[in-house]
Amino acid sequence: MRIALFGGTRGVGRQVLVQALEKEWGIKLLARNPGAVPPEPGLQVIGGDAMDPGKVIQTITGCDAVVCCLGPAKGSPRDVCSRWTEIIIPAMEKFSLTRIVVITGMGTGDSLKQIPGWYRWLFRLLLRSSLADKERQEALLRESGLDWTIIRPGGLTDKPTANPPAIGVDQTTPARMVSRKSVAAFVVQELESGEYRGRTPYIT
C-alpha cells in the first residue's frame, strides 16, 4: 500500500509514519520543513504547504489512500483542517482516489456527550475555534463521495496507558486518555480492514 500523509511530522501523524514504514508501505509525506524528517526506505518527502493545491496533488499522485492528521500548529491558519479538506476532495476526485482516513477528536459533533460532566462546558469554551474547524471538516467529508473514515481519539498522550484503548461507535463510552501510538495503530488497522468505512469511531 502507498499512502499520502498530511500532518505526519509530529504527534499521531509521526506515529502513523513510523508504523506504516514498519509494514513496508510506501509513504508520500507533505512537510513544510522536509529537512526535519530523516530519510527512510519507502518514504518520499515533498516540501510544501497543505494549503497549496499543487503540492497536495503532487502528494496524492500514485497513492492508494490518504491519511490526514493535521491540526493547529504555529504558522497554520485556524481553519487548516476544513480548508485542507476543501482542497483534498476535488483533488482526490480528479485522480479517482477514494479512500481517506482523517483524525478529528472526541468532543467533535455528536460525540460532545462523551466528554465527562463539567469538563464538557470548559472543553467547548477553550477549543471553540478548533472544534468548529473539525466539525466543518467532518461535514465536508460526509457530503463528499469519498470512501471515508473519521477517527475521533480521546485525550492524547505520549505515555502508555494503563488499559487497552476502547474503540467503537456507541456514544456511551466516556473520553479518557489514549496514547498517540495506539491511535496510529488504529489508523493503520483501519486502512487494512476498512471496518469503519463511512463511520466515526472513537478510540479512547
- How far is residue 64's CA from residue 97's CA, in Å, rounded to a whole number? 7
CB atoms within 10 A of CB 23: 11
Provide the pLDDT confidence category of residue 117 given band limits of 50, 70 and 90: confident
Domain range for residue 75? 2-203
> Would you state the cell numbers that stand for residue 43, as one nine-digit string?
518514504
Virtual torsion, Cα 98, 103, 104, 110, nearest 10 deg: 70
Q: Can you tell me the distance from the alpha carbon of 21 to that of 120, in angstroms, rounded to the nearest whole number?
A: 37
Q: pLDDT of 120-159, one tens digit each?
A: 666 666 666 788 899 999 999 999 999 999 999 999 999 9
Give the pLDDT of residue 118.
Answer: 66
User: Is residue 82 within 8 Å of residue 68, measured between CB atoms?
Assistant: no
Q: What pLDDT does 105 receive?
A: 93
How many domains in the chain? 1
Instruction: Report pLDDT for 125.
Output: 62
Tell me how crowded residue 133 is: count the other CB atoms within 10 A of its CB.
25
Per-residue model confidence (pLDDT) at position 161 = 87
The one-letter code for the residue type at 7 is G
Q: What is the pTM of this model?
A: 0.94
- Express each pLDDT in 68-111 by its tens digit: 999 877 667 889 999 999 999 999 999 999 999 999 999 888 88
What pLDDT does 124 receive?
67
Q: Are 202 and 167 in contact (CB under 8 A)?
A: yes
CA–CA dist 170, 167 (Å, integer): 9
User: Which residue would you say has higher pLDDT here, 129 or 63?
Assistant: 63
Instruction: Check which CATH number belongs to the domain holding 125 and give it.
Output: 3.40.50.720
Question: Is there a contact between 131 and 124 (Cβ–Cβ < 8 Å)?
Answer: yes
**Cβ-contact 133, 172 below 8 angstroms:** no
Over pLDDT 70: what percentage of the chain?
Answer: 94
